[in-house]
Amino acid sequence: MLDEGRVRAETPGCGSDSGTVFLDSAGSSLPSQVVLDTVIGHLRREAEVGGYRAANERLEDLAAVKTDIGTLINADPSCIALSDSATRAWADFFYSVPLGPGDRILISGSDYASNGIAALQRARATGARVEQIPTDPNGQLDLDAMADMVDERVKLVSVLHVPSNGGLVNPAAEATRIAHSVGALVLLDACQSAGQIALDTRELDVDAMSVTGRKWLRGPRGTGFLYVRPELATTLEPQRLDLHSAQWTSADSYQLAADASRFEFWECDVAGRLGLGAAVRYLLDLGPEDVYAAVAARAEYLRKTLPEIPGVTVRDLGVRHSGIVSFTVDGVAAFDVRDRLAARDITVTVSQASSTLLDMTARGLDAVVRASPHCFVSFDELDRFVAALAEL
């Protein structure tokens, strides 16, 4: 079981009686003390000796960032490319997959706006088509419909693991099997799952996976990573290269890096990377399964309690649930709910239709309020949130 007292004591943002309730780990979570110290410590060191020497002093720790990420997602460190956001990681892979006229790109019904936009742009440039995998009555990827629609023209499938606008978990491994049956590549958006549910790249069997640092992993902003399957990390050529992703070997030749670092550029926020590493190590140290169970228990508590408030409708779909709880309040706009809770020092966010256009349009929703409690949120705080919501 997770030691809630320890986690709270080690999270500077949740002072014991501060009165604040933080329910936005799906947006940008509260880092632990060790993450904060790591980032600030490195910035101080850069100010003392310059960025190059400061980085050279931390080469082992920088290498350990990928090792620890690999431990968390069951992947070899050579399959990890560090990035400055999940979107960049996702796009770095997505834009590198060769496509031609008549090829098909499949996206998920709850896909993220940036992914949908990129798919349309890529289709326009290559003559490929973008199609949506149908959604079943539970709001999840409809696996039967997907099996019926795939053929060998499908080259690339975007599977959205945990949508940003509601609490479902898509059957990613099953969808991947269907995509692979016709030889398509699968890119998994695990932005909202990393740090709150178990991710095992060998079990999922995806070809690539994108993750952000600042959400459930509780890392710094401006961090993320891409996982690339070993065979692709050594064969797929990224759209853009620099002197780190490739080596300039002669006047008319270059050689790609022999692992997933071909998807990285040389320049980076070293303090942020060390902070991301500290966040992953902290999660490993707490025990990921205990953290995941604590998140799930908090979200389930809200899903059970919120419907008891007159006028509140929980909007989560799905069979298996995540730590994201989405809801609407009759007669009160989502942004007003957010602002009125903020006035009481309770942080929730609004997820707008523009972020998950296909799903929200299909459900006739323009916005939902999103509460996403991490393991450092106490049940007392959840009750304070529920009471405040009842008073609206």
Ligand X SMILES: *Cc1c(COP(=O)(O)O)cnc(C)c1O
Q: Binding residues for ligand X, per CB under 6 A?
A: 85-87, 112, 160, 164, 189, 191-192, 212, 224
Residues 6+ apart with CB under 8 A from 301: 379, 382
User: Nearer to ligand X by C-beta: 158 or 305?
Assistant: 158
Which of 29/85 has CB closer to ligand X? Answer: 85
Q: How far is the CB of 212 from ligand X (least distance, A)?
A: 3
Which region, left, alpha or beta, applies to residue 127 given φ > 0 means left and ψ of -120 to 50 means alpha? left
Query: At closest approach, how far in Å is the CB of 160 from ligand X?
Result: 6
Phi, psi torsion values for 314, nearest 5 degrees: -75, 130
- What are the backbone angles phi and psi of residue 74, rounded to the nearest 5°? 55, 60
Alpha-carbon gap, residue 162 to 265, rounded angstroms = 28
Task: Report in angstroms how near the CB of residue 191 gets to ligand X at its nearest.
Answer: 4
Closer residue to ligand X in complex, CB, 130/389: 130
Return the number of the residue (70 or 224) whose C-beta is nearest ligand X: 224
Q: How far is the CB of 88 from ligand X (least distance, A)?
A: 7
In the complex, least distance from residue 19 CB atom to ligand X, rounded to whole angstroms:
28
Considering the complex, state which of residue 28 and residue 378 has its C-beta at the smaller distance from ligand X. 28
The CA-atom distances, in angstroms, between 104 and each of 132, 180, 182, 253, 269 are 10, 14, 12, 33, 36
Report strand pairing: 325-329 vs 367-371: antiparallel
Write down the least CB distance from residue 113 to ligand X, Å.
9
Q: Give whichever of 167 and 224 is closer to ligand X, judged by the CB atom.
A: 224
Task: Collect all residues with Cβ–Cβ distance below 8 Å to 127 and sequence separation of at least 6.
Answer: 99, 100, 101, 102, 103
Mapped onto helix, strand or coil, the DSSP state of residue 24 is: strand
Between residues 121 and 255, which has the closer beta carbon with respect to ligand X?
121
Pairwise CA distance, residues 363 & 137, whole Å = 11
Residue 157 CB, shortest distance to ligand X, in Å, is 15
Please choose, from the candidates 185, 149, 191, 195, the residue with its C-alpha nearest in 3D space to the C-alpha of residue 170.
Answer: 191
User: Minimum distance between the CB of residue 355 and ligand X, rounded to whole angstroms?
Assistant: 8
Q: How far is the CB of 370 from ligand X (least distance, A)?
A: 10
In the complex with ligand X, which residue's Cβ is closer, 11 or 85? 85
Alpha helices in the chain, H assignment, sequence order: 4-9, 33-49, 51-56, 59-73, 86-94, 113-126, 143-149, 172-181, 201-204, 230-233, 270-286, 288-305, 334-342, 357-363, 379-391
Taking the least distance from each CB to ligand X, the nearer of 213 and 238 is 213
Nearest CA-CA partner of 219 in 71, 368, 68, 335: 68
Helix or strand (DSSP H, E) at 367: strand 367-371
Write the CA distances from 183 to 25, 67, 90, 104, 275, integer angstroms.
Answer: 36, 30, 20, 12, 38
Q: Min. distance of Cβ 363 from ligand X in angstroms? A: 17
**Degrees to nearest 5, angle at CA 200 with 230 and 322:** 135
Choice between 106 and 160, CB closer to ligand X: 160
Q: Which amino acid is at 269?
A: D
Round to whole Å and give the CA distance between 312 and 134: 28
